A = this chain, B = another copy of it.
Amino acid sequence: MKKYRVAVVGATGAVGRELLGILSEREFPLCELRLFASERSRGQTVRWRGEEYRLETLEDLDVFSGIDLVFTCTDTEVSRRLVPQIRARGPLVIDDSAAFRTEPQVPLVVPEVNPEVARNHQGLFANANCSTIQLVVALKPLYDAAGIVRLVVSTYQAVSGTGAQAIEELRAQTGEALAGRALQPQVYPYPIAFNLLPQIGTFDERGDSSEERKLAQETRKILGDDRIAITATTVRVPVFRSHSEAVNIETQEKLTAEQARELLARAPGISVLDEPDRALYPLPLEARGRDEVFVGRIREDRSIKNGLNLWVVSDNLRKGAALNTVQIGELLIERGWM
């Protein structure tokens, strides 16, 4: 089997670290691995599969001309600047940021949902937003069976979606709060310990946050249906890992809860956990480190004719970010679309 020269940019961030673990677990077919990080990490090394890798900085981008596939786990601003320069050196790029997701010629790929869009590419692929990926994985079997008219989504998003500093902020702040000391927010505008923040990203003039807009735009792009009506409220919660979503769905055709449960149980990438009388339902703490999108609390919503409710939980750093990114790479290799 052919092996590839791979680079990870942003290797020390929350997503980058997770991605390195996943490349190892899944035995990604690589013959060379180069790790890049910002100036702050200069001189440091990272251990991967028993070997030490020196972290490289991004001074001389010509090193990318010897690479086949680059995973960029960087901020939107950094990706916007860096990715075109890397692409110009030849490698395929799978970018985890929001920089290119809405560009029509950039495939926005969730392999369980829309693998075919990866075929016709111009060398650049976007990974969807974490809250979108788990949503579309859960929606896909229902969409195919019954069509989707409208979604009302409320999210409960973990701090790791913000990054490694936010994980540390929740940890440190919680300790301060338990000790009765005043809280000093740095990453977020307000304390996140024992609190909720109804802001993810920045607000537009209509009052929607950038996370809410992404969820709507990306869901329509990935499901390939511009007519789906979507409204969302996205909220940061004091949870380290795994995003949760209360999803209210109006389908075109009627689906009973039992039909929805069967469709979801058969679908790839989904684990149905839905025995409420035995207290079995998805939990962020249990989804941590797992690959699946967990779906439970599957109920008919009798407030409308064709209504369903779902509770959808998935590890935002794995399926919501690093795992999906690696799966896009695997898809390209398996189908011969590299």
Please give, as numbers and ranges, the residues of chain B lying within 8 Å of A198 by CB-CB distance: 244, 246, 281-283, 296-297, 311
Q: A237-B156, A284-B195, A284-B196 are contacts. A276–B207 as well, Cβ < 8 Å?
A: yes
B233 pairs with A246, CB closer than 8 A: yes
Stretch in contact with the other chain, from A42-50, A129-137, A170-178: A170-178
Please give, as numbers and ranges, the residues of chain B lying within 8 Å of A178 by CB-CB distance: 171, 174-175, 178
Please give, as numbers and ranges, the residues of chain B lying within 8 Å of A320 by CB-CB distance: none
| CB contact between A277 and one of B203, B285, B286 (< 8 Å): that residue | B203
In this assembly, does A298 line the interface, its C-beta being within 8 Å of a C-beta of chain B? yes
Please give, as numbers and ranges, the residues of chain B lying within 8 Å of A281 by CB-CB distance: 198-199
Bound-state CA distance A117–B282 (Å) is 41
Please give, as numbers and ranges, the residues of chain B lying within 8 Å of A174 by CB-CB distance: 174, 178
| Interface size class, chain A | 35 or more
Shortest distance from the beta carbon of A93 to any chain B beta carbon, whole Å: 34
In this assembly, does A91 line the interface, its C-beta being within 8 Å of a C-beta of chain B? no
In this assembly, does A75 line the interface, its C-beta being within 8 Å of a C-beta of chain B? no
Main secondary structure of the interface of A (DSSP, over half): mixed
How many copies the complex holds: the figure is: 2
In this assembly, does A229 line the interface, its C-beta being within 8 Å of a C-beta of chain B? yes
The contact string, 1 if C-beta is below 8 Å from chain B, for chain A 172-200, is: 00110010000000000111001111110
In this assembly, does A112 line the interface, its C-beta being within 8 Å of a C-beta of chain B? no
Q: A279-B189, A311-B198 are contacts. A303–B235 as well, Cβ < 8 Å?
A: no
In this assembly, does A82 line the interface, its C-beta being within 8 Å of a C-beta of chain B? no
B195 pairs with A239, CB closer than 8 A: yes
Bound-state CA distance A194–B301 (Å) is 29
Shortest distance from the beta carbon of A294 to any chain B beta carbon, whole Å: 11
Bound-state CA distance A154–B307 (Å) is 15
In this assembly, does A257 line the interface, its C-beta being within 8 Å of a C-beta of chain B? yes
Please give, as numbers and ranges, the residues of chain B lying within 8 Å of A302 by CB-CB distance: 231
B196 pairs with A231, CB closer than 8 A: no
In this assembly, does A221 line the interface, its C-beta being within 8 Å of a C-beta of chain B? no
Closest to A158 in B: B194
A: residues with CB less than 8 A from B are 150-152, 154, 156, 170-171, 174-175, 178, 189-191, 194-199, 203, 206-209, 229-231, 233, 235, 237-240, 244, 246, 248, 257, 274, 276-277, 279, 281-286, 296-304, 307, 309, 311
21 residue pairs bridging A and B, Cβ less than 8 Å apart = A154-B233, A154-B246, A156-B156, A189-B279, A190-B279, A190-B285, A195-B284, A196-B284, A197-B283, A198-B281, A198-B297, A199-B281, A207-B297, A207-B298, A208-B299, A209-B276, A231-B302, A231-B303, A231-B309, A237-B237, A238-B238
- The 10 tightest CB contacts between A and B, nearest first, are A154-B154, A229-B303, A203-B276, A233-B246, A154-B246, A207-B299, A195-B285, A231-B301, A231-B303, A152-B152
